[in-house]
Structure 1
Amino acid sequence: MTDGVPPPVQAVPPLVLEAIALTLPSTAGPVNILRGVGLTVGAGERVAVIGPSGSGKSSLIAVGAGLEEPTGGTVRLFGQDLAKLDEDGRARLRRGRAALVFQAFHLLPNMTAEENVATPLEIAGVRGAGATARDWLGRVGLSGRLTHYPHQLSGGEQQRVALARALAARPALLFADEPTGNLDSATAASVANLMFDLVAEVGAALVMVTHDPALAARADRIVRMADGRIAA
């Protein structure tokens, strides 16, 4: 404290990885996927993770989001040590605070676009989930596709639904694993613009895996991975 003024409160980083190791079994013996990875993502920071296939990029996201348990090290999501939580506890911690977007969209095929966005909001106890879903689908340019099922939508439209679903709860952290990887170049650019605009609007941090150098260049920081490690 200086001159009676308390120091500013330091925000807890949404994601901290400390000495993360991940070893998975295979027919040829154990495979070291991650080898002592350390990474801190600050509030609102946009981080691009790049590297060759097999370097551990997607595994880093899976571990950071609590979808995969590391074999060593510590993962702190919103200040919580994930090792102290069971699967249900990790899901509760993510709910409404951390969201994921994947290359393969992962929309529920038996639900309309509106239902795909509204259902997670309903599970999280958000009032007016349907209205919020319609609003967010409008934000991504899909007001005319509310009642369409995934198979009736193009790849770009499906990824827009996935973005709306991920961001409708205004999470503090978005994990995006090759979010434009299944799209043609023009559609990919459009979806990328939308993602960055919406992430900025909600104030979310972003951890994005990508092979696209132009997309990575839009992040605040680029992290390069090789052989399960963050390269110097």
Structure 2
Amino acid sequence: MLDDASPLAPPLALSAVALTLPSAAGPVNILRGVDLTVNAGERVAVVGPSGSGKSSLIAVGAGLEEPTAGTARLFGQDLATLSEDGRARLRRGRAALVFQSFHLLPNMTAEENVATPLEIAGAKDALAKARDWLGRVGLSGRLTHYPHQLSGGEQQRVALARALAARPALLFADEPTGNLDGATAASVADLMFNLVAEVGAALVMVTHDPALATRADRIVRMADGRVAS
């Protein structure tokens, strides 16, 4: 049930969120009482040293990982009240993710990678929309290419098109330029910020790049599983 989801609620609200995971050496406290609210259209950069909990914050906020304690709300819906399938339905068309490693489906063309989520969401003319969005990211000439035939920058452009084609209200981006060289990273960052603004989405972006972080409306610094500032 998604009855508690509200278009008026902040896209993301974490309250006293903790995450403890098992390890061979015993339980590891990944997140320790994180509070974070992201408002509609707001662009938030999450920074901090490796192991500070940045990617885990995104995983919990997107409903990919269940918190050990606290409350994670996506569009006002308490994620703890939903099954894995329910969380996927809540994200569908409303929250999207872009990862450092692209995560394109290797046996699908660029066009198919973008069209498939649209088809799953019930969009009409999914292939036409996929072509349009690949054109927006400068890949009109690469529609039928498979991921292994694309450069890293091109793969991330396909991933951006796939994430934003449904015009979601929230985009999670985990080190979106981390696997790219400097010039390509800057180009992809420009594209991401321009497209996020165009669709009116909020952005939660994990990054190690200080220059990229300063482009956000707000910087959240994490240390030892907590929000430091």
TM range, smaller chain:
over 0.9
> 218, 221, 226: which one pairs with 1:224?
221
Render the CA deviation track for 1:91-134: whole Å, top value 9, x for unaligned.
Answer: 00000000000000000000000000000000000000000000
Render the CA deviation track for 1:25-52: whole Å, top value 9, x for unaligned.
Answer: 0011000000000000000000000000
The aligned length equals 223
**Aligned twin of 1:191:** 188
**Aligned twin of 1:60:** 57
> 201, 204, 208: which one pairs with 1:207?
204
SS at match of 1:218: coil
Could you tell me which amino acid in structure 2 is paired with residue 85 of structure 1?
A: L
Report the CA distance between 1:196 and its aligned residue: 0.1
* 1-structure distance, mates of 2:94, 2:78: 15
> 117, 124, 148: which one pairs with 1:120?
117
> 155, 160, 179: which one pairs with 2:157?
160
Alignment of 1:1-232 (within 5 A): 11-232=8-229
Render the CA deviation track for 1:5-60: whole Å, top value 9, x for unaligned.
Answer: xxxxx931000000000000001100000000000000000000000000000000
**Aligned twin of 1:6:** none
SS at match of 1:44: coil
* 1-structure distance, mates of 2:56, 2:145: 32
* 2-structure distance, mates of 1:39, 1:54: 18
Report the CA distance between 1:182 and its aligned residue: 0.1
* 2-structure distance, mates of 1:215, 1:83: 32
Provide structure 1 residue ranges, at least 5 long, that are not aligned to the other structure. 1-9
Give the TM-score, by structure 2 length.
Answer: 0.97
- Identity fraction in percent: 88
Structure 1's consecutive aligned runs of 4 or more residues displaced over 4 angstroms after TM superposition are none
Could you tell me which amino acid in structure 1 is paired with residue 27 of structure 2?
A: P
Render the CA deviation track for 1:52-104: whole Å, top value 9, x for unaligned.
Answer: 00000000000000000000000110010000000000000000000000000
* 2-structure distance, mates of 1:210, 1:34: 17
Give the TM-score, by structure 1 length.
Answer: 0.95
Report the CA distance between 1:230 and its aligned residue: 0.3
Report the CA distance between 1:199 and its aligned residue: 0.0
**Aligned twin of 1:7:** none
SS at match of 2:124: coil
Could you tell me which amino acid in structure 1 is paired with residue 61 of structure 2?
A: G
